[in-house]
Homo-oligomer: A and B are copies of this chain.
Amino acid sequence: MPLLSNFNIEVELMPVSAQGEVLLKSVYVSVDPYLRGKMNGTHPPIFELNEPAASKIIAEVVESNNESFKKGDYVSAYLKWQEYQVSDGTALQKIDSNTAPLSNYLGVLGITGLSAYIALMDIGKPKKGETMVVSGAAGAVGTIAGQIGKIMGCKVVGIVGTDEKIALLKTKFGYDEAINYKTAPDIKAAIAELCPEGVDIYFDNVGGTISDSVIANMNNYGRIPVCGTISNYNDIEEQTGPRLLPIVVYKFLTIQGFLIGDHAARFPGVTAQLAAWLKEGKITHSETILEGFDKLPAAFIGLFEGTNEGKMIVKIN
């Protein structure tokens, strides 16, 4: 488990933009579970010790020596966790701050929404009347995935860690049912009870024993998009659990991971669909925004403690 003492904030000289470069000021920083893998080497490119972490950031162009950008532009890119940094402009994506609030481009209109949509549609293949279970359901991806499942006509059941999140899923995000895995005496039985027709799609964000309990309830031909296994990200030793391959054979299951970057060509179309649903009120979203550069470590650690509702973001003042 990462600790606050694993992070260090350093003060450096303000960078200066050379010819062809822009000076960027970080505005919103995306804080995501997958970054844990960049610390333990499982998710390249990895973070080097004593070098800044990095993630998707919305930044403002505060100085421009690059004719493609002007002062005041907002851009999105995979950037370092720094208040200021220079860029030669490659890989910067311009963002229209009039279409949606800037922070949305890190969540529902960013990698979060794209991951939820593409994993669910491509791997989950939801059909009207099917039952879908989402783990980590109150998280950034889970809240969006569940709502897309509802739009597709599925019954959607979420798994979360507090009763407050159960209420939230049902009232705000349209989930049909939800389970508190910390208080349910038998998660497998609870899922069986809430999903009397079995589980057709398991949208997995957490892995571990929660996933064991859901997979035991899968129907034949079930699909399991594996978006994350946050329960394992801080494991030091390889964990064991019930063997999955026999159930894959007996139930003709599909279990699949994916790299969202492989689908970049579809990003504009999917983002437009998500923006349309957002505008029509068919989906809603939550952001947990902590303020101040020094909150980055706490925001990151909070992901593993479930302190976030929806997308975890740090606003740099």
Question: Which A residues, 219 to 249, have Cβ-Cβ distances below 8 Å to chain B?
Answer: 220, 226-229, 232, 235, 238-246, 248-249
Q: A1 → chain B, closest Cβ, in Å?
A: 16
Q: Is A251 part of the binding interface, using a Cβ–Cβ cutoff of 8 Å?
A: yes
In the assembled complex, which residues on chain B have CB atoms less than 8 Å from the CB atom of A254?
Answer: 254-257
Q: A59 → chain B, closest Cβ, in Å?
A: 28
Chain A interface size range: 35 or more
Among A19-27, A138-146, A204-212, A275-283, the one that faces the other chain is: A204-212
Q: Is A127 part of the binding interface, using a Cβ–Cβ cutoff of 8 Å?
A: no
Q: Is A42 part of the binding interface, using a Cβ–Cβ cutoff of 8 Å?
A: yes
In the assembled complex, which residues on chain B have CB atoms less than 8 Å from the CB atom of A258?
Answer: 252
Complex CA–CA separation, A232 to B242 (angstroms)? 12
A-B contact pairs, 23 of them (CB 8 A): A37-B250, A42-B250, A207-B246, A207-B249, A208-B245, A228-B249, A229-B243, A229-B246, A239-B242, A239-B243, A240-B240, A241-B243, A244-B244, A244-B245, A245-B255, A249-B257, A251-B257, A252-B259, A252-B262, A253-B255, A253-B256, A254-B254, A255-B256
Q: A256 → chain B, closest Cβ, in Å?
A: 5
Which of A220, A242, A244, A253 has the most C-beta atoms of chain B within 10 angstroms of its own C-beta?
A244
Copies in the complex: 2
In the assembled complex, which residues on chain B have CB atoms less than 8 Å from the CB atom of A37?
Answer: 250
Which of A226, A254, A258 has the most C-beta atoms of chain B within 10 angstroms of its own C-beta?
A226
Chain B residue at smallest Cβ distance from A223: B256
Q: A221 → chain B, closest Cβ, in Å?
A: 8
Residues of A within 8 A of B (CB): 37, 42-43, 204, 207-208, 211, 220, 226-229, 232, 235, 238-246, 248-259, 262
Q: A214 → chain B, closest Cβ, in Å?
A: 11
Once A239-B243, A242-B240, A243-B238 are accepted as A-B contacts, the answer to whether A255 and B248 lie under 8 Å apart by CB is yes
Chain B residue at smallest Cβ distance from A259: B252
Complex CA–CA separation, A256 to B246 (angstroms)? 11
Complex CA–CA separation, A43 to B211 (angstroms)? 23
In the assembled complex, which residues on chain B have CB atoms less than 8 Å from the CB atom of A248?
Answer: 226, 229, 255-257
Asked if A43 and B250 make an inter-chain contact with CB atoms under 8 angstroms apart, the answer reads yes
Chain B residue at smallest Cβ distance from A43: B250
In the assembled complex, which residues on chain B have CB atoms less than 8 Å from the CB atom of A249?
Answer: 207, 226-229, 257
Which of A245, A248, A255 has the most C-beta atoms of chain B within 10 angstroms of its own C-beta?
A245
Asked if A255 and B250 make an inter-chain contact with CB atoms under 8 angstroms apart, the answer reads no
Complex CA–CA separation, A43 to B250 (angstroms)? 6
In the assembled complex, which residues on chain B have CB atoms less than 8 Å from the CB atom of A43?
Answer: 250
Asked if A208 and B255 make an inter-chain contact with CB atoms under 8 angstroms apart, the answer reads no
In the assembled complex, which residues on chain B have CB atoms less than 8 Å from the CB atom of A228?
Answer: 249
In the assembled complex, which residues on chain B have CB atoms less than 8 Å from the CB atom of A253?
Answer: 255-257
Once A250-B42, A252-B257 are accepted as A-B contacts, the answer to whether A204 and B240 lie under 8 Å apart by CB is no
Once A252-B257, A253-B256 are accepted as A-B contacts, the answer to whether A243 and B246 lie under 8 Å apart by CB is no
Q: A136 → chain B, closest Cβ, in Å?
A: 13
